């Protein structure tokens, strides 16, 4: 069998020996015979008995001396030739495989063993080595393509990525990180976090918001830090996201919503006030007033006072949304919390579906107010259409899942559910659901409302973390 690898010198050259000794340990020299010489001795030993018997019989026969020497020489040459052929037939494929493995170890997958075929153990071994080379080549190409894709993504994303080793020295930075530090990676790599002014980013909570100024940019940053291992040594992956633009956009949208809500409510109150005030002024300017002008004056002033009081309530309710106090957390039984909210509803019987005994770490006053709002909304919707209200809870992983189901008309416009002061109920304030969602989010949970799929009505779903 032949190979491109086999055509090379079986011993490492001077130029390649220095490279290979870095990746493998050179074995110590031994006084024992190597594998090739042992094969040669075995081959010589295998034919030695026949050689001796042939020579003895030859010299005991009646031949001339020249014939005896000629035949003896021929037999000896054939014996040595076959012995060395056996040695070469065994050693050459092994040397080929050795060169092939050396090429694979050094990352050269272009070599292939020639003459490999099925039907014998050595041929099948060479086929497997060729298959291994093909597989490693495909894997390396895949890894190179994945690495190139990752490098492209790292360069193009607008998020700064840094990798620090265990000594807090920078080992990797993308293009966004270079912009933040206002330097190229060649000048940044190898420097410590203290020298770069990023030591505080590697301390504290792994996910937080940080107000910080860098040489290239300043503002509010979302900081995320994770630990990974490379070569058995812990490294730190640091991701910085510029939140300034996002926060400014959110602030602008919040102001727009505020102005829209305030403008709507103010117009609703000020328009009739201005109209009635103008009408009353016209009445007072007349020289001959109608007989019932005093009644018109009292009725107009009553409307102005009523709308002014409604505007005052609006501003007070809006202040409640803006000044929701921080929850005072303490362990509370879910069953106790739900039952205390259910008994406060007196207009109809609320069906209670008890769940498992669970304990949550919440502010009981706030969460009870949340449940009261959900139950009250469910009862309001059900009383108009007839039906029942059902409340229950279950455990969903590490969270509490609490639901309130009604058999009302359902939600006609889900987009306006959590818009402040939007309500479809006569006399409703439109802040109950807004406050309820704020309470849920302040406790690390969520509140969602959706129409029921199996029957008419709406279902409110509350998720809260369970006390571990």
Q: Is 433 exposed, middle or buried (0-12, 13-18, 19+ CB in 10 A)?
A: buried
Are 173 and 237 within 8 A, CB to CB? no
pLDDT-derived band at 418, boundaries 50, 70, 90: low
Compute the mean pLDDT over every residue in the chain, rounded to the nearest whole number.
79
pLDDT at 105 over 70: yes
Dig out the tokens for 437 from the structure. 């969602």
Q: What is the mean pLDDT of residues 323-332?
A: 81
The string of pLDDT tens digits covering residues 389-417 is 999 999 888 889 999 998 888 776 655 55
The top-scoring range by mean pLDDT among 253-267, 357-371, 416-430 is 357-371
- Residue spans of alpha helices (H) in 334-390: 334-342, 364-385
Q: What is the mean pLDDT of residues 263-273?
A: 69
- β-strands 207-213, 399-405: how paired? unpaired
The string of pLDDT tens digits covering residues 17-76 is 334 434 444 455 556 778 778 888 888 888 888 888 888 888 888 888 888 888 888 988
Q: What percent of the chain has pLDDT over 90?
A: 8
- β-strands 399-405, 458-465: how paired? antiparallel
pLDDT-derived band at 288, boundaries 50, 70, 90: confident
């Amino acid at each position: 069998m032949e190979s491109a690898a086999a055509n090379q010198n079986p011993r490492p050259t001077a130029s390649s020996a220095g490279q290979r000794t870095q990746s493998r340990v050179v074995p110590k020299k031994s006084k024992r015979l190597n594998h090739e010489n042992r094969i040669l001795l075995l081959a010589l030993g295998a034919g030695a008995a026949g050689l001796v018997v042939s020579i003895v019989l030859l010299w005991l026969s009646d031949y001339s001396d020249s014939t005896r020497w000629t035949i003896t020489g021929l037999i000896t040459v054939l014996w040595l030739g076959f012995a060395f052929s056996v040695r070469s037939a065994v050693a050459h494929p092994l040397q080929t495989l050795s060169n092939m493995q050396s090429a694979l170890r050094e990352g050269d997958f272009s070599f292939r063993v020639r003459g490999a075929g099925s039907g014998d153990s050595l041929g099948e071994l060479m086929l497997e080595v060729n298959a291994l080379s093909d597989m490693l080549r495909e894997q390396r190409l895949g890894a190179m393509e994945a690495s190139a894709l990752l490098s492209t993504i790292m360069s193009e994303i607008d998020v700064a990525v840094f990798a620090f080793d265990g000594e807090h020295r920078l080992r990797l930075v993308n293009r966004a990180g270079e912009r933040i530090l206002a330097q190229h990676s060649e000048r940044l790599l190898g420097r410590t976090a203290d020298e770069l002014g990023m030591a505080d980013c590697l301390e504290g909570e792994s996910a937080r918001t940080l107000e910080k100024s860098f040489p290239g940019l300043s503002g509010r940053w979302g900081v995320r830090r994770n630990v990974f291992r490379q070569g058995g040594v812990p490294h730190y992956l640091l991701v910085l996201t510029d939140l300034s633009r996002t926060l400014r956009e959110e602030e602008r949208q919040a102001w727009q919503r505020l102005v829209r809500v305030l403008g709507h409510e103010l117009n609703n109150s000020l328009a009739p006030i201005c109209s009635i005030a103008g009408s009353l002024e016209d009445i007072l300017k007349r020289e001959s007033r109608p007989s019932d002008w005093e009644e018109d004056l009292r009725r107009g002033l009553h409307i102005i006072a009523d709308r002014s009081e409604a505007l005052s309530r609006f501003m007070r309710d809006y202040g409640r949304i803006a000044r929701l106090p921080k929850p005072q957390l303490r362990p509370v039984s879910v069953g106790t919390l739900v039952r205390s909210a259910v008994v406060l509803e007196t207009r109809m019987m609320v069906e209670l579906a008890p769940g498992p005994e669970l304990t949550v770490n919440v502010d009981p006053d706030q969460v009870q107010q949340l449940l009261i709002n959900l139950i009250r909304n469910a009862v309001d919707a059900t009383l108009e259409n007839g039906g029942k209200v059902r409340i229950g809870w279950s455990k969903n992983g590490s969270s509490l899942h609490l639901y309130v189901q009604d058999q009302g008309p359902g939600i006609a416009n889900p987009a306006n559910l959590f818009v402040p002061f939007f309500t479809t109920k006569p006399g409703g304030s439109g802040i109950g659901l807004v406050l309820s969602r704020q309470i849920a989010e302040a406790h690390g949970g969520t509140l969602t409302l959706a129409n029921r799929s199996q029957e008419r009505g709406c279902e409110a779903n509350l998720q809260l973390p369970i006390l571990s």
